[in-house]
Every structure is written in C-alpha cells, then in structure tokens.
C-alpha cells in the first residue's frame, strides 16, 4: 500500500545558515562534470509558483494524488477542468535567466546533465538538451488502459470542442499546471476518453503518491555516479524523489551545493546553501566564468 505523499517538511535540527557566497558554485562549475537537480523554485521567475516557498501553492492547494485520480471519476473531472484551464497559462510561460544560465553551462561543456523535478519543459525551451524529466512532462498524455499516448495540444483541442464556452477565471496557477477553481466553476466539465479504447487519460507526469518509473531512477543514479558534483537549484528536497540523489552524492563523497532561498531537507548534506534568487545567482556565476547568458530559446 502506498503512503500518502509528503507535502511539508519541518527541520528537526539546527541547519547552517544560508550564504551569499557564490565562489563554491563557480569553482564547482569551472571544474566541470556538474549534475544539476532542479525544482519548482527555478521556474518562479517565469511566473509559475513553487509548492513550498513564500506564497507557495501548498498554502491554498492540495495536489491531485494518483490514488484519488484513478479511484474517482469526479476527481478526474475536477482535475481535467482545472488542468485544461491551467494549461493555457502554463503553455505561455517562457524560460527565465536561471534556465538560460543552465543551458549556457551545458553548451560550454560544464555539466554532466540536468535532472528536473519540474513538468514545465522550460529547461528544454531555454536550450538545454541533456535533461531527464524526473516527474514527466505536461506536454504528453497517456491512456491508463491501452498505453496509447498523444500530445497535450491534441487533448486540449478535444477538451475545447467538448466544453465550448468554458472560460472561468482561476484564482491562481500551480506548479503542476492545475488552476485553482471552485466546484461551481468546474460544473459539469466533460472529460474525454481515449480514442483507441475508451480508457482513462492521464497526463504523463508522476502524481503525488505515485512512484517514479524505476528505469528513470536508475538512469538518474548513473548520472550521479558519473558526475563530479551535484548542484541543486530551487528545490526544497522535501520529497524523496530528489533527496535520494543528494544522499547518494554525499555517500560517494561528491560535493553537494544548493541554491535556494529557504532551508532545504538536504542542507545537512551540502557543502553550502546559497540563499539568493536563482536568476541573479546563476547569471552572476556565469559572468565570473566568462559565459554569456543570452536569450536563446527553442520555444
């Protein structure tokens, strides 16, 4: 039986204070072989809120769990209504300076790869190529029965046709692309089935309470093994899906560096935690290394 997801974390020990010293980060990148692990915090400057920071979405929103989604048609109706509306805003988000800096580090051969916990595709839109989407991507949708897959834009078209005039005003958008709607706003939103078998469609993302596919985890573990250091960007590391890689790096003697304004669950494993905005911190480091951070984007 799966446990309910970990949605919050409270330190049970005194953790080191964050610093503004970027030299350890610059030193690690100049040595090369850095593996980036990014979380929702890197996308906040693109207008997508994080889960747990100041004003984070968990203060007003409980994410859909895999168990609820698969067990309840009403839960699926609520999810798809909110996700369909949120997709319109989510799809307009553009990479920020933090994403562009990561892409610039990759182009200059300083990275061993990028593991992202985000489902927004912004690393790739900024130009990063070697990206593992740990929790999947909202760009894809799959059938839970027959396994057929389709682009999200195709599902969006079908949902538009099935719900003409659906134009509620959301109170906010969440990191998983889920818009904040009341039950009254959801109304009788019509959910469309798989066109192949009539089964239940689900976004190709790992919901809270769901496990990351083992082959994907093993691929990420190999990346950690091959890296010289691990740089965590904008993740509280509350959930084990990301924290396990920090622990793995520490156990193998590789330095862990974190850039996150708030304390994280991985701080006690880290060489340093830089408490600066990510866009500012990463562009500053890039400047020190003589690497231009341009507006290159593929989407």
**Which positions make up the binding site?**
39-59, 117-120, 143, 146, 194, 197, 234-236, 278
Angle at the Cα of 69 (from 164 to 200), degrees rounded to 5? 60
Give CA 33 to chain center in angstroms: 22
Number of C-beta neighbours around residue 252 at 10 A: 11
Annotated binding site for Zn(2+): 143, 146, 194, 197
Contact 160, 141 (CB under 8 A): no
Closest CA to 274 of 98, 130, 104, 107: 98
Cα separation of 144 and 104, whole Å? 38
Cα separation of 168 and 155, whole Å? 19
> Of residues 61, 99, 135, 269, which has the active-site annotation?
135
Cα separation of 241 and 272, whole Å? 21
Cα separation of 61 and 178, whole Å? 9
Active site residue 123: no
Annotated binding site for NAD(+): 39-59, 117-120, 234-236, 278
Number of C-beta neighbours around residue 116 at 10 A: 30
Tokens standing for residue 248 = 């793995």
Question: For 136, how many CA atoms within 13 A lie in the half-sphere containing its CB?
Answer: 20
Cα separation of 103 and 47, whole Å? 19
Cα separation of 53 and 75, whole Å? 26
Enumerate the active-site residues: 135
């Amino acid at each position: 039986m799966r446990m309910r997801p970990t949605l919050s974390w409270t330190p049970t020990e005194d953790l080191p204070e964050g610093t503004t010293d970027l030299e350890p980060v610059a030193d690690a990148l100049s040595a090369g072989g850095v593996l980036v692990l990014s979380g929702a915090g890197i996308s906040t400057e693109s207008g997508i809120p994080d889960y747990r920071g100041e004003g984070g979405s968990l203060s007003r929103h409980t994410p859909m769990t895999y168990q609820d989604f698969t067990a309840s048609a009403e839960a699926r109706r609520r999810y798809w209504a909110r996700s369909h509306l949120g997709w319109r805003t989510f799809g307009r988000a553009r990479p920020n300076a933090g994403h562009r800096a990561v892409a610039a580090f990759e182009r200059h051969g300083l990275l061993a790869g990028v593991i992202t916990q985000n489902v927004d595709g912004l690393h790739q839109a900024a130009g990063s190529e070697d990206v593992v989407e740990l929790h999947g991507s909202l760009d894809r949708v799959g059938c839970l029965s027959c396994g057929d897959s389709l682009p999200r834009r195709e599902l969006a078209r079908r949902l538009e046709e099935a719900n003409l005039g659906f134009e509620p005003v959301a109170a906010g958008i969440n990191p998983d692309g889920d818009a904040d709607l009341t039950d009254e706003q959801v109304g009788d939103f019509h959910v469309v089935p798989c066109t192949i078998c009539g089964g239940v469609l689900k976004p190709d993302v790992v919901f809270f309470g769901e496990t990351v596919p083992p082959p994907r985890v093993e691929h990420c573990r190999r990346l950690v093994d091959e890296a010289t250091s691990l740089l965590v960007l904008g993740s509280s590391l509350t959930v084990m899906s990301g924290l396990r890689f920090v622990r793995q790096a520490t156990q193998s003697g590789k330095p862990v560096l974190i850039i996150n304004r708030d304390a994280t669950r991985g701080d006690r494993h880290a060489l340093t935690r830089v408490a600066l905005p990510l866009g500012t911190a990463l562009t500053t480091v890039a400047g020190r290394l003589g690497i231009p951070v341009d507006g290159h984007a593929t989407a």
